[in-house]
Each structure stands twice: as C-alpha cells, then as structure tokens.
A = this chain, B = another copy of it.
Amino acid sequence: MNNKIVTLLTDFGTHDGYIGSLKGVIKSYYPAADIIDISHDIDPFDVRGAAFTLHTYYSYFPKDTIHFVVIDPGVGSVRRPLLLRTAQHYFVGPDNGVFQFIFSREAYTAYELDVKKISSGTPSATFHARDIFAPATGKLLQGNPCEKLGKRLDERTEVPRVFYSKEENGVLKLEAVNIDRFGNIVTGFSRRDMERMNKYAIDQVKVKDFSTNTLNSFYAEKSDGELMVLWNSMDFLEIAAVNANAAKILNFDKTKDSVQIKIR
C-alpha cells in the first residue's frame, strides 16, 4: 500500500474531537494515508477565507494529492457535495464557494458525490465531513475512479469572482481576504489582476489614515512599527508593519474596511 497524501483544511478547530473522527474514517479506508494538517482554525463559516487559503498552498503539493476542504455552514441543506479532478490534484468539499479560486485558475472535471455510492449507512445530518467527504476521500485513496463516486456535472460556467471594484478616476477599492497571524492585511488583488487590466504601476495606496505612494520589496526595508505596502509571497497586495501588527495599528476591520489604490 503506497503512501498517498491528503491535506485537511477545515474550520473545526482543535479543541474538540471533530478532526479526530474524520481522520479515523480516512485511516479506516486507507491506513497508509499521509494526512497533512493545513489548518483547522479557519474562522467559523468563513468560506471566503478558506477559498483564499486553499489557493495559497494547493499547487505546491505533488501530483495526486487529495485536498480536503470542509467549511460547511450549509451542512444538511441542499448545497452539493463536490469532487474535482484537475491535471495535478483532487479536491473534495461542499459546493459553496470554497473552490472559487480553483474554478477560475484550473481546468477541471467536477462530480457531484453520490452518498449511496460512498457510504452504506445514512449520513448524519450535521457532520458530512465525517460521513460523506471523509469516506469519499477514503474511496479515492483506495483507487476508485471519480466516476464511481458520483455523477459528472456538465460544464460549469463560473463567473470568476474578483475582490475589487472600480471607482472613478482609475481608483480601485480592494477587499481584504485575510488578516494573517502577524496582522498583515492581505487584499484579494493580485499582480495577475493588474496585468489583466494592462496596468503596470500603482500610484497611491490608501488604507484608513495611512497613505503612501511607494511600494516596498521586503519587510526589513523599513524600521520597526512602520507601515508599508508590498506584493506578498503569493503576489497579492498586502499592507504590513515591520515586526508589528498592521491591522491593529490601523484598527482595520476586514468585514467593513477596504484598501483604495490608484493604478496606471
């Protein structure tokens, strides 16, 4: 039995036994599963944050890695349980937006998981991670083809979601998709977004009381506590503070506040 990699991204936290039972189910199907914890500390029900986080790591894993992503506020309702196949990877999780970056960046085939093909019992109404997504992952690990786990969905035409809106005079208003552990404010605006608009320079960045017209390259360019703007390691625009917490300094609330930039 070969080692096969499964990554886990959930909002289940690490205080309870939830991730324990789903790891147990995966192991019971395929004991040599190599389970890699990414995070279980996604903010509860934060589908957008999970979608962004997935996007920052999935591509680094080797071929045939299964990415398990369950943030599932609608568990028990009608949202579809999904299985995606791309050239390199598999993805398992609910059809609620967690895969929006995958849809817009990868060619994929989508399947709606068929509960009857996956599990002999009746799944609980509140814990599909354990009763549907983990068994589906287990069956994939055992070598079952996607077709045996669900119905292939017709071509989907997703409208790629963007995280900015256009204002007047070349100003863009950017949403923050994450405040990371260090207090860096990560916007959903990428270098790629800018290039698609045939724009190549940022003239001004404004976040609440802070405003600058220069971008930096790395944190150590400024002094402790100073604010700065840079393209981060994933090529998203980020507001950071040197060895300090930018979100706290700016009193930034990601659900209400935004970042304005002027580009040309």
User: Chain A interface (Cβ within 8 Å of chain B)?
Assistant: 3, 5, 7, 9, 11-21, 23-25, 27-28, 31-32, 35-45, 52-62, 65, 73-77, 124-127, 130-131, 178, 180-182, 217-221, 230, 232-233, 243
Contacts and interface: CB of A to CB of B under 8 A. Distances in A.
A5 B31 contact: yes
Copies in the complex: 3
A56 B14 contact: no
Contacts of A20: 7, 9, 36, 38-39, 53, 56-57, 60
A57 B17 contact: yes
Given A20-B56, A23-B57, 14 more contacts: A7-B24, A15-B39, A15-B43, A16-B53, A16-B178, A17-B56, A20-B38, A20-B53, A20-B60, A21-B57, A24-B58, A27-B61, A45-B243, A76-B218
Contacts of A45: 243
Contact of A77 (B17, B37, B57, B218): B218
A79 B117 CA distance: 48
A54 B180 CA distance: 24
A141 to B, nearest CB: 13
Contacts of A25: 60
B61 A41 contact: no
B233 A53 contact: no
Given A25-B60, A233-B126, A32 B16 contact: no
A229 B136 CA distance: 29
A14 B181 CA distance: 8
Contacts of A37: 14, 37
Contacts of A126: 218-219, 230, 232-233
Given A21-B57, A28-B61, A61-B27, A180 B16 contact: yes
Contacts of A76: 217-221
B24 A57 contact: yes
B60 A21 contact: yes
A3 to B, nearest CB: 6
Contacts of A36: 20, 23, 27, 35
A60 B219 CA distance: 35
A233 B37 CA distance: 22
Nearest to A128: B233
Which 3 residue pairs across A and B have the least CB separation, nearest first? A24-B60, A76-B218, A20-B57
